[in-house]
Every structure is written in structure tokens, then in C-alpha cells.
Amino acid sequence: MKNSISNKYYVNEIVKSLRKLNKKKKYLLHEPALDKNDTLQLKKCISSTYVSTVSKYVNSFEKKLSKYTNSKYVVAIASGTAAIEIALKSVGVKQNQEILIPNTNYIASTNSVLREGAIPHFVDTNFNNLGIDVKKLSLYLKQISYIKNSHLINRKTKRVISAIIPTHVFGNACDIIEIVKLAKKFKLKVIEDSSEALGTFYKKKHLGTFGEAGVISFNGNKIITTGAGGALITNNKKIYNKVLHLSKIARKQNNFWEYDYNQLGYNYRMSGINASLGISQLKKINKLLLKKKKLNSYYIKSLSNLKNVKLLKHTKDSRWNNWLNNIFIQNIDLKTRNKIIIELNKKKIFVRPIWKLMHKIKYLKKYPRMNMKNSLITEKRIISLPSSPSLIK
């Protein structure tokens, strides 16, 4: 370890903090908040028989989500990953085009790009909110690309760089306004990966509504869950119509009985049974967000005075959903970080590291990337803490 503080110091302080808050037998990273109202809603859906993709519950969930996020259009999708994939198609991304993706990231956006036949191009992140480092990216694009016929061209590969997928890491707003400005300057489409950001507003706008389209996840570990599921949100009617059509296998709707299709589609529509759970969960989102806020305040009070530790702070002018709380331990390496994580997990405190960096994953090493100094530092210093709303009694 590069400093004199032992691993046990951090382990003991985190254990003490959690047990003072809530004496549980184990502390999961993020449990779903399920109750009897969710069960009743699911029974109601099952009794109606509208459990599949053609369901009044899907339409109802979309309307409620549209109202909550203040987005004009919502399409409920089978998963957040599927929503990213269909978003790429809807904004016009073509095969062999390069898509800018932050290196500090979950694998979903990269896999979606590859499945569409496009090329991931990894970019560095910043220390403030773990989002894309906009200034560094702007300088990088000036060096490696040029604009021709309203397209951004990579000088080395000669491929078009057509889009950027900024991620709102841990639900905290990245520098999305600056990213949208950069995208406009360099002729890029913006798909916001807001998978973790339901309930986060930046400058009074819900994340996912700044670019051409945004994606939300309702996996079991998110603020609210549909079991498995996601949604695409947009204010662009053309994108909405395309996503809705593609998610229904691109079936032609001349009548209700004929099976005909006008292009290759995706069977990505959310099911009624998933949507019915989403309806019940969305009713209590404000209560859940309040608990999350209280938990974040508790961690700030109990851990921010630890030696060499910082907590990830809210982006200015944002109302953060506090999805995952994280500590940033200065001056440690990956080996030390892993020792702390292993010891805490042995004590049934299931902390996690941040994701493995994209450019380090074996099948992704061959793809283009910029200098990754910032993300290499953050990877070895961040630990995600148990953040279930149930920790607040």
C-alpha cells in the first residue's frame, strides 16, 4: 500500500458505519423494494390475462413513465441493453461506423454497438462525476478527426464517427449539456445511457431527455424494478415511431390478423407482467428516493472524515437519485482495493468495485481508444457501498 493506513482500517470503519445504521445479517449492494402492493398488482395482471407484449399494462406504464420523466414519448423495452441497441438503429447508426463510449462503464452500451455491426471507440472520464471528460475529448477529436460532408471522419481508420453514448454513472448527472454542445459541433448523435438514473434531474430536466434518445433500466438492482426491463425515452416523434415499430418485430399493421413485415425487426417489447410491476413500483418512487437521500446523508456524515477518503458528490444543479453510494480511496492500488472488498464480503457486506474498464476486457482491446489516464486512476480507487433503501428503517 502506498500510504501507511492498513486495509483493516477501512474495513472496520465501513463495518462500524453500517452496523450502527442497521443491524442486518447481510448487506446486499442494492435489493429491490418489493411489498404486498406489488404482489397485488401482479395478481391483477395475471387475472386479466394481459401478461404478454400486447397488454394494456405496457401502455399504462409508458404513460406514467412519460409523465414522471416529462418526456413526450416512451417505449417500454425488454431490457436496458435492448433499449440501447434499438436506439442505435433508430438514430441512424450504420455498420462499421464508430461510436464514442466512456471507458468507465457497464458493458451494455459496448455490446449493443457491436451487435449493430458498429465499432466502439473508448474515451476517458473525469474525476468529478465519472462521466466523459468533455475538454479532453474535444481536444482528442480535433487531433484525430475532421468533418467532411457533415460527417466526422477518423483520420486513421477513415471510418465515420457517428454517435456518442454518455453514461450517467451511478445515476449522477454527467456533463450532459457540454456533451450535447460537443456533439453538435462534431456532428454526433447523442444516446444517453441513463440506465441507473431514474429519478435524477439536472437543471430541472430528467436525465435521458437531453439527447436524441435516452435509456432507462428496471433491472432488479435499480431504483424501481420490473424484474427485467428497460425503456427508451425521447422527445423526437420520428425516433419514437421507429423504436415502437422495430420493438414490435417491424410488423405491418394493415389489420389485426395478417402477419407481414416491412424490415428486420426486434422482439424487444416489454411484457404486461413486467409492466404491471413497474406501475406499482413507480407509485412509490418518491418514498424510495427520500430513503436513498437519507442514506447518502448518513454515509457523508459517518465516512467522509475517514483518512484519504472522498465520497462521490452530487453534480451541481442536479437532484440525484443516489442510486449507489461510493467511496474514493486515494493512493491505493488494485491489489489493496481488492483486499478491502474481499474482507468486507467475508463479513457479508457485499461491496463491489467499479466495472472493469472497457479497454481492459479481452475481446475489446483491439478497438480504438484515447489516453485513459483518468479512468485508470478511478478504477483502482472506487468501492461501491450497500445502498438498498431498506437500510433506512
166-182 pLDDT tens trace = 999 999 999 999 999 99
The mean of the pLDDT values for the chain is 95
272 and 366 both lie in a single domain:
no
Asked whether residue 125 is domain-assigned, the answer is yes
- pLDDT class of 257 with cuts at 50, 70, 90: confident
Domain range for residue 11?
7-32+285-391
Q: Work out the pLDDT band at 1, boundaries 50, 70, 90.
A: very low
Give yes or no: residues 293 and 333 share one domain: yes
Contacts 24+ apart (CB under 8 A), 370-376: 370/122, 370/123, 370/124, 370/136, 370/137, 370/140, 371/124, 372/103, 372/122, 372/124, 373/124, 374/124, 374/125, 374/126, 374/127, 374/133, 374/136, 375/102, 375/103, 375/104, 375/124, 375/125
Please check whether residues 86 and 157 belong to one and the same domain: yes
Residue-wise pLDDT tens digits, 40-65: 999 999 999 999 999 999 999 999 99
pLDDT in tens, 307-341: 999 888 787 888 999 999 999 999 899 999 999 99
Which DSSP category does 271 fall into? P
In a domain, residue 249? The reply is: yes
Q: Tell me, what CATH number does 290's domain have?
A: 3.90.1150.10
pTM of the model: 0.95
Provide the 10 A C-beta neighbour count for residue 16. 12
Which residues is 191 bridged to in the sheet? 213
Same domain, 21 and 56: no
CA angle 278, 281, 286 (to 5 degrees): 130
DSSP readout, 19-79? HHH---S-B-S------HHHHHHHHHHHHHT--SSS-HHHHHHHHHHHHHHT-SEEEEES-
Domain end call among 238, 266, 283: 283
CATH number of the CATH domain containing 40: 3.40.640.10
Domain total of the chain: 2
